Amino acid sequence: MGIDETTKLIDVLENGGLALMTVDFLKVTQELQDLDWTENKALGIRLLELIMEMVAAMNFAKNPIISLSLPIAAKILKALA
């Protein structure tokens, strides 16, 4: 199927989210269900990095050590991609 819509969603979220209304979430769901994660590790790393940044930004991590380490871990993941 491809990963066009999923990549678009990640790009939108990374760059401010204004175009979020143009993302077709049904396509994202289908793309992620059909994705071969062993072939597309870069997308998995981007998703994991984004989730870690969102958790740190939304204060779900009440422990200050975790709040500080999540963005650093996200940058390390980005460097590995």
Supply the mean pLDDT for the chain. 78
Expressed in angstroms, the distance from the first to the final Cα of the chain is 22
Q: How many CB atoms lie within 10 A of CB 69?
A: 14
| Confidence check: pLDDT of 69 > 70 | yes
What pLDDT, on the 0 to 100 scale, is given for residue 51?
79
Alpha-carbon gap, residue 58 to 44, rounded angstroms: 21
What pLDDT, on the 0 to 100 scale, is given for residue 32?
83
At 22-33, the pLDDT tens digits run 788 889 888 888
